[in-house]
Structures are given as structure tokens and as C-alpha cells.
Amino acid sequence: MAASGLAAALAGGCRSQTQVVAPVTNVYLAGAGAPQPVNNVEFLDQYAATYRFSLGRPTAVQVTPDDKTVLFLRAAGPRSFVQDLWAFDVATGQEKVLLTAEKILGGGKEQLTAEELARRERMRSASRGIASYAISKDGSKVVVPLSGRLFVIDLEAARAGTPKVQELKSEAGFPIDPRLSPDGARLACVREGEVYVTDLASGTEKKLTSGAGGAVSNGLAEFVAQEEMDRFAGYWWSPANDAIAYQRTDTSPEETFFIADPVHPETAPTPWPYPRAGKANAKVTLFVQALAGGAPVEVSWDHEVYPYLARVDWPEHGRMTILVQNRAQTEQVLYAVDPASGSTTELLRERDAEWINLNAGPKWLDNGKSFLWMTEQAPGSDEWSLQVRRADGGVVRTLGVPGVAISGVIDVDEKRGTVRVSATAEPTEAHVMEVTLDGGVPKDSAITRATASRGVHGATFGRGHGTWVHTYSLADGSMGSEVIRADGSKAGELRSIAEEPSIRPGVEFFEVGKEKFRAMVIKPRDFDPAKKYPVINSVYGGPHVQVVRAAARGYLLQQWLADQGFIVVSIDGRGTPGRGRAWERAIKYDVMSLPLEDQARAMGLLAEMVPQMDMSRAGISGWSFGGYFSAMATMRRPDVFKAGIAGAPVCDWRDYDTHYTERYMGLPQQCEAGYDHASVLTYCKDLTVPLLIIHGTADDNVYFMHSLKMTGALFRAGRQFEFLPLAGFTHSVPDPVVIKELQSRTVQFFRKHLGGPRGK
């Protein structure tokens, strides 16, 4: 499910359908008077046109294996979605462009298929031009897809100033997910549901797989893998360059949903297979196909017990593995695979009475005799832990120290005997730390911080493990990407050409209650301590998302909203990540009751610490799960929340996808009462405060039917509400005009129903 808040709705691409903002259906009759104009509309213009000030910032950063070059994408301008490929020279600190979309297309319009648009939607990408690239394992070549064409760049020649760009011609369809073989001699991609391989020396293309058509595809990850498992790959090169493992997906068991363009009823609806909770998933199998030919080898496991193929890894050293889950996601098994026979051997099995969170999969060490494994099942720990395991799956030791949560592996440098990890002792922060591989029993000295400033830090290393790119967004509002050499010296910054915002957020962080809920408060920049202000809770409140982070630049829109005469707050309650297993899993079978209690109680505690918060005039606003939360808050706790905005809300969990929903709620057939209790439809009759519902008609994540069912139930119950359908928009809204109007509508709605600052 997507990230939180209305701001998060502005974080993804949209289909090529006509997009129109429909007139608001206002059936809430309370209030009167013309809406007042918003303040500082110049910032809103800038925020919308720059895509939240992200356009022009370096993205998709990769370090070449020789540590000499940092590759990255950057938009052509601070208000352009069209990206180009750039290279930063570590020795000189200079950057230069390697390939531009404009040069390749010659000013022509980029063409994308519905499948590629859907893939970018899953990846929350609104980029155009060079939206992605892949580098060969040896770093000699880079492949770039652009408008249905494929280009291969000789990186050494490009460094020397004599770039060689080879276009790969094909008679087949649009290429999806192009990737070079480990030796850089071949390129694979998916065209029209089949895996194709091109020999770069001869330019000869070969169709490697067969049998695709209708509901069957080869080499593509299915919907839930992309949307919920964070797995976008559907095929994997062998380290010997002589075979490819590929996923075969049959969506015929799934329901077919249809998305129509309401502005153009003459256009046929687009069909999409969708795995609704409690109903059938796509059937996923895995095969290994030798490039030399012959019959594909099917990888065997019990598909009935473990229908989810969560991870596939085929490392240079170590064993090919697959990670599979049961449908309830209470058990997962890591199997080693024999590619020649397809047989599997169990390496480890994990169980959890509530659910298992997916990790990134095993990271094999270069000796092939052991691997690193992230787990929440380590004895005596309530947090994620990092283990060293033997090739047979047995535990060797656990790395790290108590009280420091390790959230992921960044880099493994066996020569130095260290593992770089993302970790923190404070849930609002993320730091780059080093853990010793041979540290024995963990001690304080076994983990060291590579970053210090309060904020959210990340790192990107290449296979050389020397040069790295340090990305940061700090509590003081600073952010950037700096290149660090192996000796620790700074080579320079990956230059940003993004516009700087005209305002800076003034974020105050709090810990409230015995649970120490993490919370943030933003006041107007012209704050008058002698006045009482209406309060807006910018909420998500659901699994796998934190809204309170020590990264001030993430709160620009909240600061602008506060400047309209509100105090804006955000709170992370139970069910959110970063606070241990018990905290996160407290919501099993009921994703709303405890989180709603936490938000209401924490707001009251915040008001005691910030007496200018007028809790008699509190509103709530969110998107996706946050939209669901806002709708439920207005219906179930009108004593606290006097108005709400629900953007793209889930209405009934029976209508959301299997892998997300059943993880927290179980199957509907086994928990009917729980699904009823968690459904907005159950409480529509109780709405007594103003509620604005916003939804894109082309949403293929939280389908438009959710809001239609909600508004239908509200209407039948005689409740009053406002409804704003966004014709042609998906779960994300990148259009600058619509961004501006949505934020203006937000301010006008809350001003109308909550008022403005008042004297005490």
C-alpha cells in the first residue's frame, strides 16, 4: 500500500488517460460563505510544479565496480520529469552527461505501453525520458531503455569522451526490465510476455521462453509481488551467463477488474487481473532455461502450501535460493535450488503466529560457505537481527548489539571483515553503521556508526566496496548526496538543480505517553502563543510506514498548511514499524481500533504539552491507508475529530489485495466478524461530522469502487458528505494543476469546518 498523507498522493505516475478533476459533489450542508483564498499560493505553485521539489535531484545512484565512477539520473530541469543519465568522476569530482532523452528521441514524444505504465505505478515513479538503467556486473556497459527502444553504452569509451551508443533492434514488442548478463555479453528483457536474449556482438535476438499469451506471461513479476513484496524482477541470470531462471505467471484464476475512462465512454475499459482478499491469486511457477536450448526445468516446491514466491537469488558464490511463503504469511521457507534438476533443499524455516515480514533475502558471502540473513525470529530479540548462517542454513552467530535495530544490509566487505547496515537506536532516525563479521559474541565495539547527524541517512556502495555515496535528509532541513572515497575524503556532491523551497519547516519532535509515541508538531511561522489554533492530524497510521522522521524536508507541505492558520501534527502509534515485533503486531485481526485509540490519546497528550492546540477543533487528513484512517476517525471518534479528508481510502478490506490484507486480517472466510469490524461500511451510519472523500477513477491499487461503496452507504444512511472524484487519475496525482487545487481545497475545507486562530 502507498505511503501516507495527501502529499504522498503526489508521489507517482498516472495512466495516459484523459485526466479531469470532476466538480465536487457537496452534500454536506453545514457552513456558509464563500471560501477564503489560501495564503502563500506562490509556494503552492512552486511545490506543485517541482513535484515536491524532487525534480532535478540525483536519483538511481550506482557506483561502478572499479569505484571510479558514480552513475545517476537527473531531470533536465527543476520542473521537468524527463531524466538524463549522468556520470560523476570520483578522481576529479567532475560530472558529465552520458545520454539524454532529447538527443535520442530527437524531440519526439515518448511512447509507453499500459504494462510499463502499470510497472512504474507500482514503483511509484512519475519519471519520463531515461527512467531507469542497468549496469553490467563488470561495469563495462550500461543499458538504457527509452520509449520502447534499448541502448547500450560502452562506459569506458564514454569516460574517455568518445561515447559509443549501440541501439538494439527488435521485431518483437515493447521491452520491459532489460538487464545485462553478468559478463556483459548479452542482454535479456521481456517482450510481449516472453523473455528475449540479445547477443551484443552480433545484435542477434532470440526468444528464450514460450507459451505466453492471454493470461500467461513469462519473466514478469505478478501484481502482489510488485505492489506488496517489493519484488519487481521476474527473471534472473545465472552467474555463469548460460541460463536464466524465469517466473511463469497465470492470472486466469484471478478476477478481472475493468478500469474505464469516464471522460471518454467510447473507449473500451482496460482489464486488469486483481487478487481480491479471500479469492484466488495468480498461479506462479519458476523455471530454469539454458541459453543453449532444451526443455525448461521446473523448480519444485509445494505450491499448494506455499503459493507466494517472495524472493529468488542466484548469486556468484553460494547456492541459488528461493524464499516462499504460505498464504497466511505465518510461515516461510528458504530453499536451495539445484538448477539442473529443479530439486530443492530446505535451508531454514521461520514461523510467526501473527505474520512474517519479508526481508531482502540471503546475502551469500564470497566463500559460498555462509550467508547473511535478516530475521525477526532471533532468540531473545524483539527487533530485526542480522545472522551469519552456514550454507546448510545453520546459525553461526548473530551480529550487532542489543537496542540497535538493524533494518537492512547495505554492503558486505569481506576483506575488511565488515558489513555496512542501516540501523538505529531511535525509530525516527536511520544511520549507516558497520558490524564486524568475525566479532564473536556481540559487544558494544562490534558496531560503529558511519553517520552522526540526527536524521535519515543512506548509502550506496559498488562491488569495489571503497567509494560510496552518502545520502542524507536531516532534522535541520539539510539534504544531499555526497561522494566519499575509500580513504574517507570527500570527492564532491552529486549536484542538485532542484529549486529550493521558499519556506523551511519548523518541526518539533515529542515523545508522549507511557508508550513514548513519537510525534511531531508544526506551528504557523507567524505563531502567536496567545492564540488557540485548530489542529490537523496528518495521518497514515498503518503498517510499514512511519510519518514521524527526523527529516525536516519531508514536512514542507505540512508547514505550508500550518501557515494557513493550523497546528499540524503527526503520530506513529501501534502497528507502525521501528518499535519491535510486539508493537507492530498489536493490530493483528483489527487494523483500526488500537491505532485509532493511540492517535486520539496521543493528540490529547500533545495538547497538554502544546496548549495552543484547540482540541475542540481537531481535523484529520490522509491518503490510502491514511484515507481509510481518516474516514474511520470521523465515524468512530467524532468526539475527537470534527472533520476529515479521506483520500483514496480503502472502504472494505474484502476489496483489497490478498498479500497485504490477509497478512494483517487473515482470510475473510475465517474472520468475517473482524472484516466487518474493520470496514468503513459498518460505521457510515454514524457519520455526524464533515467528511471530504477524494479518489482517482483509474486507481488500480485502491480501486474507485471503494469510495463509491462508501458514498453509497453514506447516502443511504442519510449522512452528509463531500465527494471529489479525480477522473483519469490513479493512486498517485502528479499533475501540478491538480496538486495545487487539492491543497487549496484542503485548506478551504478545514477553514470552513474548523475555523482559524482565536484568542484564548
Annotated domain spans of the chain: 5-52+500-755, 368-466
Give the DSSP letter string of 329-351. SSEEEEEEE-TTT--EEEEEEEE
Name the residue with cell 564532491.
492
Dump the DSSP string for 411-423.
EEETTTTEEEEEE
Render 273-333 in DSSP notation, one character per residue. EE-BTTSPPPEEEEEEEETT-SPPEEPP--TTT--EEEEEE--SSS-EEEEEE-TTSSEEE
How much of the chain exceeds pLDDT 70, in percent? Answer: 91
Give per-residue pLDDT as tens, 367-424.
Answer: 899 999 999 998 888 889 999 999 999 999 988 777 888 999 999 999 888 999 999 9
The sign of the torsion formed by the CA atoms of 256, 257, 262, 264 equals negative
Cα distances (angstroms) measured from residue 13 to each of 422, 557, 656, 706:
28, 19, 20, 21
Query: Which residues are 272's β-sheet partners?
Result: 257
Q: Which three cell numbers stand for residue 152?
A: 547500450
DSSP E strands in 494-642: the ranges are: 507-512, 517-522, 531-538, 567-572, 613-623
User: CA-based diameter of the chain, in Å?
Assistant: 81
Residue 407: closest CA among 391, 429, 392, 379? 429
Render pLDDT for 499-519 as a digit per residue (tens, 0 to 9).
999 999 999 999 999 999 999
Give the per-residue pLDDT at 14. 33
Which of the residues 570, 731, 735, 753 is marked catalytic? Answer: 731
User: Strand ranges (DSSP E) for 500-651?
Assistant: 507-512, 517-522, 531-538, 567-572, 613-623, 643-647
Element at 180 (helix H, strand E): strand 175-180
Strands 479-484 and 517-522: unpaired
Please count the other Cβ atoms lying within 10 Å of the Cβ belonging to residue 623.
32
Please state, in angstroms and rounded to a whole number, the distance separating the CA atoms of residues 748 and 248: 50
Distances (CA, A) of 59 to 75, 84, 436, 480, 603: 9, 10, 30, 11, 36
The dihedrals phi and psi of 747, each to the nearest 5 degrees, come to -60, -45
How far apart CA 337 and CA 124 sit, in angstroms, is 32
Q: If we measure between CA atoms, which residue out of 275, 277, 284, 279 comes closest to residue 304?
A: 284
CATH, domain range 5-52+500-755:
3.40.50.1820
First to last CA, the chain: 41
Q: Residues 282, 251: contact at Cβ < 8 Å?
A: yes
Can you tell me the distance from the alpha carbon of 61 to that of 83, in angstroms, rounded to the nearest whole number? 13
Query: Could you tell me the mean pLDDT of each successive run of 10 residues in the chain, 760 residues long?
Result: 50 38 40 66 92 93 95 93 92 92 66 57 60 88 86 86 85 90 94 96 95 97 96 97 98 96 91 96 98 97 98 96 98 98 98 95 92 92 91 91 88 91 94 80 62 96 94 96 95 96 95 97 97 98 96 96 98 95 96 98 98 98 98 98 98 98 97 97 98 96 97 98 95 88 96 94
**Cα–Cα distance between 740 and 706 in angstroms, integer?**
25
* 445 counts as catalytic: no
- pLDDT for the residue numbered 416: 87
> What is the Cβ-side half-sphere exposure of residue 248, based on CA atoms within 13 angstroms?
17
Residue 129: predicted pLDDT: 80
Of the residues 67, 652, 655, 699, which is catalytic?
A: 699
Cell reading at 753:
469546518
pLDDT of 23: 41
Whether residue 624 lies in the annotated active site: yes
| CA 614, 617, 621, 626 torsion-angle sign | positive
User: Which residues have a Cβ under 8 Å from the Cβ of 120 and sit 6 or more positions away?
Assistant: 12, 13, 112, 126, 127, 131
Contact in structure between 72 and 60 (CB atoms under 8 Å): yes
- pTM flag (> 0.85): yes
- Catalytic-role residue among 140, 422, 624, 732: 624
Q: What pLDDT does 24 receive?
A: 43
Rounded distance between C-alpha atoms, residue 98 and residue 87, angstroms? 7
The Cα 419–Cα 494 span in angstroms is 25
Q: What is the reported pLDDT for 374?
A: 95
Q: How far apart, in whole angstroms, are the C-alpha atoms of residue 149 and residue 146?
A: 5
Is 177 labeled as catalytic in the residue annotation? no
All residues at 6 or more sequence positions from 153 whose CB lies less than 8 Å from its CB, including other chains = 85, 98, 99, 141, 142, 143, 144, 163, 164, 165, 166
Instruction: Please calculate the CA angle 264-267-271 and round it to the nearest 5 degrees.
Output: 120
- CA–CA dist 245, 315 (Å, integer): 12
Separation in Å, CA 51 to CA 7, 42, 117, 733: 10, 14, 18, 10
Query: Residue 681 and residue 678: Cα distance in Å, rounded?
Result: 9
Residue 186, judged by CB atoms within 10 A of its CB (0-12, 13-18, 19+), counts as buried
Angle 625-636/593-609 helices, nearest 10 degrees?
A: 80
Q: What distance in Å separates the CA atoms of residue 79 and residue 175, rounded to the nearest whole number?
A: 28
